[in-house]
């Protein structure tokens, strides 16, 4: 799974982030009249930034599409006509009058799906975006953006939008490799809601979900900048940070993280539940660090009378 997560993360980065609608990717589409000679639009295609032209239809709602490929094919004289004759042809004779047209605000998922459902020579043509002015979006960009969106969903919790367990573990492994030999240490916080089932039963699932979102927001706001906070179970959260080099800095950082989490997660509303917190730090491998923190968390649950709701485990080299 580690390699799979790495590939998903790389795919999301290659796509340039998550985009919601075609408006995020669309670029202005130059539009010409249908009776303009082919020779007059050649200058447009000299620019590598222009992949297609719009061709004005018989009314404002109609649009044709002249792609670079259609332009090139029309000018090569496949039927034996001379270039001079071909250059005089009006663009309206060459344009595709049934391009894929989507409205502004169309989701990336819908636009990408419709684009991939096309067949034939026009399958990879740009999609036209209908708005106050015509625009276009490359099919390749739609597909990459869809990949990024699906990747983000697969690695993130849909309720809190935090990274999920696999993403947290991937981050631990990545940061551990990055810190090797530096003297700095990973610090792992595990937070577990106490009596979450009772909250669900007494206040309902909507209230329980809202509480989890509050826990997520409070942790993110309380921890040092650069920390990664994830939801790793139904009522479990993990946060990953890095300490400075040296035992003194490690101890200070653990104390800072512990104190910030305790203050942030102290019940503030009637339907808030107490949250058990464990802070683990040390030179162990990521898997060992997680196992140590979870073991300490389990100990707090088995001996509640002897352990406060906040427990701490700190190990140094």
Are the CB atoms for 167 and 4 separated by under 8 Å?
A: no
Q: pTM, whole model, 2 decimals?
A: 0.64
In the beta sheet, which residues pair with residue 188? 240, 280
The total of other beta-carbon atoms located within 10 Å of residue 281's CB is: 26
Q: What gap in Å lies between CA 259 and CA 262, rounded to an integer? A: 5
Domain 165-314 fold: Alpha-Beta Plaits (3.30.70)
Domain 2-150 and domain 165-314 have a common topology:
no
The total of other beta-carbon atoms located within 10 Å of residue 283's CB is: 17
CATH number 3.10.580.10 given to 2-150: yes
Are the CB atoms for 22 and 142 separated by under 8 Å?
A: yes
Specify the range with the lowest mean pLDDT, choosing from 48-52, 180-184, 262-266.
Answer: 180-184
Q: Which residue has the tokens 């367990």?
A: 165
pLDDT digit string, tens, across residues 2-29: 566 776 676 666 656 667 899 999 999 9
pLDDT digit string, tens, across residues 213-239: 999 999 999 998 889 999 999 999 999
In this prediction, residue 312 has a pLDDT band, given cuts at 50, 70 and 90, of: very low
Instruction: Return the H-helix or E-strand segment holding 215.
Output: helix 205-222
Q: What gap in Å lies between CA 54 and CA 52, rounded to an integer? A: 7
The total of other beta-carbon atoms located within 10 Å of residue 109's CB is: 15
Are the CB atoms for 67 and 117 separated by under 8 Å?
A: no
DSSP state of 126: P
Return the domain boundaries, the chain: 2-150, 165-314
- The length of the chain in residues reads 317
Residue 306 has pLDDT above 70, yes or no: no
């Amino acid at each position: 799974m580690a390699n799979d997560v790495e590939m998903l993360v790389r795919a999301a980065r290659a796509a340039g982030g998550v985009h919601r609608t075609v408006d995020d990717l669309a670029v202005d589409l130059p539009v010409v009249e249908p009776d303009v000679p082919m020779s007059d639009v050649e200058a447009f295609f000299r620019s590598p930034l222009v992949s297609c032209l719009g061709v004005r239809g018989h009314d404002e709602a109609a649009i044709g599409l002249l792609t670079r490929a259609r332009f090139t094919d029309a000018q090569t004289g496949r039927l034996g006509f001379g270039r001079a004759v071909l250059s005089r042809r009006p663009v309206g004779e060459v344009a595709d009058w049934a391009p894929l047209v989507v409205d502004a605000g169309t989701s990336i998922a819908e636009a990408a799906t419709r684009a991939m459902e096309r067949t034939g020579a026009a399958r990879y043509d740009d999609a036209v975006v209908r708005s106050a002015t015509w625009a276009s979006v490359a099919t390749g960009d739609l597909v990459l953006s869809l990949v990024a969106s699906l990747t983000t969903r697969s690695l993130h919790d849909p309720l809190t939008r935090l990274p999920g367990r696999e993403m947290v573990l991937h981050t631990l492994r990545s940061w551990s490799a990055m810190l090797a030999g530096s003297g700095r240490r990973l610090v792992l916080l595990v937070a577990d809601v106490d009596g979450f089932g009772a909250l669900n039963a007494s206040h309902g699932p909507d209230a329980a979900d809202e509480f989890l979102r509050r826990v997520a927001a409070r942790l993110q706001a309380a921890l040092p900048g650069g920390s990664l906070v994830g939801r790793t179970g139904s009522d479990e959260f993990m946060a990953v940070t890095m300490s400075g080099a040296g035992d003194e800095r490690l101890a200070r950082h653990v104390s800072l993280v512990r104190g910030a989490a305790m203050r942030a997660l102290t019940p503030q509303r009637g339907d808030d539940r107490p949250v058990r917190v464990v802070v683990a730090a040390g030179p162990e491998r990521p898997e060992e660090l997680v196992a140590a923190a979870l073991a300490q968390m389990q100990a707090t649950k088995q001996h509640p009378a002897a352990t406060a709701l906040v427990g701490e485990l700190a190990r140094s080299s």
